[in-house]
Every structure is written in structure tokens, then in C-alpha cells.
Chains A and B, each alone.
Chain A
Amino acid sequence: MGHEGSSEIIHYAASEIFPGITIHMQTMYTTWITMAIVFLLFMLAAKKCELIPKGIQNVMEFFIDFLNNLMEGQLGIKGTKFMAPFIITLFMFIFISNELGMLPQLLEPAHFEFTSPTNDINTCFALSLMVAIGVYIVGIIHHGMGHFKHFISPSPAFLPLHLLDEVTKPMTMALRLFGNILAGEILLIVLYRLVPWIIPEFWVMFSLFIGFLQAFIFTMLTLTSYATVFAHHG
């Protein structure tokens, strides 16, 4: 913990842009690349939007359809319509983020390297806190103050458990994603140093799968959080 030194295996390029305000610039750059990729994928799909999908539209529709099915199972039709943009963006952002760190490193690490934005605890907490706060916002939009009733259901004795859940859920979501992706990248770097050929490629393949899996897990947990909000509607 604390300030990173040159001995750190993962570089965040922390820089104090304003006095007292530190930003991990490496995370920022890779996040912007991720955003650009996600944006580009969707714009290409939307630009050549045809009734009979082909190429990139087909790929994006596969993801959207996959997420739609998950959402309809958890949130119902009404909830899906409301939450679709958020869930699709969340999944695609995490998915592309996770895979970004697996790209081959073209430049010297001193200049720039591809890392996952999700290897930064800040990104993971930002996402999980947005999900957690989003549940309150959407809950209040749909049920007003009635949303808070679920804290004392089935009986007021459950209040401490619910409160604990509200804190631990975003924490576990963030730490799970962060741990998986950071560990994957560290192991990849270590493997490259130990055995420069072939073996790390197997780890890259596995990590690509892990990247998808973690995005899926994060999205599923998000859906279960929101399911309680839309479950009242039936």
C-alpha cells in the first residue's frame, strides 16, 4: 500500500495534477482507450444497422441479446427497458477493460503499456459504488421512500444484516474484479520474465476467458442488486 515505487510490478503512473489531487494516469489512458473501443464498436454497429445483421452489428447484437436475456430473467420486461443502457455499457466496459491488459506490449513499459483499467482498485470501486448508489436512485424513482422497506423485511431484526450487505456487496464486487484482473496481469508479467515463449500465451488465452467471466459475474451481481427493485413490480 501507499505510494508506488519503481519496484512495483504494475505501474499506475500516479501524478498530482492539482495540489492534493492524485490521478493514476495509466488508468486514465487505458480507460479512454477502452471507452473509445466500446464507443467505436457500438457506433459501427449502429451506423450500418440493418434488419439482417452482419459483421460488427452481428457481434454487438450477440452481446446485447445475451445481456437482454439475462436482464429479462432478473428484472422483467419493464426493468430491462429501463436498465438496458446501463447494464450493456457496464458489461462492455468491464469486458473490454479486462481484455485490454492482454494485448501484446508494443512499446517499452517506460513509455506506454496496455494494462486493464480494472487492474486499478479505483476503477473497480467506482463501478461497484455506482451500481450500489444506482440501486438507491432507481429504487427511489420507482418506489419513493418505500424502497427502504426492504431493509426491515422480513422483520426489523434483519436490519443489521441488510446494512452489512449494503456495505459488503460493493466491496466484494470491486475486490473480486480487481483481484482477478490484477493477479492475471502480475502472473503474466512474471511468466514473461520466467519463460518468455509459449507458456505465457496459454495464460493469455485463459485470462481472455477470465476477462469475459469476470465481466459476466460483475454484471450478474449488478442484476441481482437491481432485481430487488423491480421484483416489487412483479
Chain B
Amino acid sequence: MVNINMTLIAQAVNFLFLLWFLNKFAYKPVLKMMEDRKAKIAGDLGTAEAAKNDAEAAKAEAVEALAQARIEAQAIIDNARKNAVAAQEKMLADTRLEQEKVIADAKEAIVMERQKAMDEIRAQVVELSLLAAGKIVEKKLGTASDKKMATELVNSLMK
């Protein structure tokens, strides 16, 4: 069963022939194809990686733009609110000023009317007091000096 003979050499020759034959005709295309595939997969993976990076960059950009837009919108809203508040305050101030002016005018008018009324009353009182005094002394007092005296009297009384 264990008999070493020339079969050993023949088998070595057989194997070497198979090796030579396969190396010449079969391995090159298969190994080359496997290398090509490896290279292609590596290339594709590289491209995919680049595309992924691009997509991520675009996404980051979009997020940033969105954040920027949000900030700007907030600024616009704040500005509008500030303007509205300012306008309201201005309007209130104007109204207040006008109101004060109206009140002041009214007060002035009242004072003037009062003065006028006082003057009129004063004149009436002078007239009446002269009339009354004339009646009392049975003598018509109508001279300018009498009127002046009566006016001074009334004025001193109504002070």
C-alpha cells in the first residue's frame, strides 16, 4: 500500500503542468478581474464618500441659512415691534401735549372770561354804588372825580 516509485515524479510533473497551464490561461483574467473589481469598489466607495460629504455640506449650509433667516426674521419682528412701540409712545406724547394745550387754552379762556366778567361786575357795581350813593345824598353824583373815587373804593373792596 505504501510503495514509493516513479509515480511520485509523474505526479510532480502532472502538478507542475497544471500549474503552468492554469497560470497561463486561467488565473490572469480571473485575478485581473478581481483586482479590477476591488479597484472599482474602492473608487465607487470613494465617490460615494465624496457625494455623502457634499450632501452633508449642503445640509449644513441649508441649516445655517435657515438659522440665519430665522435670526433675520426675528430681527425684523423685533424692529417692527420697536417701531410700533415708538410710534405708540410718540402718539401718546402728542396726544398728551395737545391735551395739555387744550387744557391750558381753556384755562386761559376761563381766566380771561372771569376777568371780563369781573370788569363788567366792577363797572356795574360802580354804577350801582354811585346810583345808591346819589340816592342816599339826594344829589346826583356823576362827575369824573366821583367815578374815579368810587372805582378806587370798589377796587380796594374787591381785592
A residues sitting closer than 8 Å to B (CB atoms) are: 1-4, 8, 10, 12, 14, 21-24, 27-28, 31-32, 35, 38-39, 42-43, 45-46, 49-51, 53, 57, 60-61, 64-65, 68, 84-86, 88-90, 93, 117, 120-123, 125-127, 129-130, 182
CB distance from A95 to the nearest CB of B (A): 13
B residues sitting closer than 8 Å to A (CB atoms) are: 1-12, 14-19, 21-23, 25-31, 33-34, 36-37, 40
* Main SS at interface, chain A: helix
Given A23-B6, A61-B30, CB of A126 within 8 Å of CB of B1? no
Question: A117 vs B7: C-alpha distance in the bound complex, in angstroms?
Answer: 11
Given A85-B27, A130-B15, CB of A21 within 8 Å of CB of B6? yes
CB distance from B86 to the nearest CB of A (A): 72
Q: Is A42 in contact with B37, judged by CB distance below 8 angstroms?
A: no
Q: Is A46 in contact with B29, judged by CB distance below 8 angstroms?
A: yes
Q: Is B11 in contact with A123, judged by CB distance below 8 angstroms?
A: yes
Q: Please, which residues of chain B bring their CB within 8 A of the CB of A12?
A: 3, 7
Q: Please, which residues of chain A bring their CB within 8 A of the CB of B25?
A: 43, 46
Q: Indicate the member of B11, B23, B34 with the most A CB atoms within 10 Å.
A: B11
Q: Is B18 in contact with A130, judged by CB distance below 8 angstroms?
A: no
Question: A27 vs B31: C-alpha distance in the bound complex, in angstroms?
Answer: 31
Q: Please, which residues of chain A bring their CB within 8 A of the CB of B6?
A: 21-23
Question: A46 vs B23: C-alpha distance in the bound complex, in angstroms?
Answer: 11
Q: Please, which residues of chain B bring their CB within 8 A of the CB of A4?
A: 1, 3
Q: Please, which residues of chain B bring their CB within 8 A of the CB of A42?
A: 22, 26-27, 30
Q: Please, which residues of chain A bring their CB within 8 A of the CB of B5?
A: 14, 21-24, 122
CB distance from A42 to the nearest CB of B (A): 4
Q: A46-B25, A46-B27 are in contact. List 19 more A-B contacts (CB 8 A).
A: A4-B1, A4-B3, A14-B5, A21-B5, A22-B5, A23-B5, A28-B14, A38-B22, A45-B26, A49-B33, A64-B31, A89-B19, A93-B18, A122-B7, A122-B8, A126-B8, A126-B11, A126-B12, A129-B12
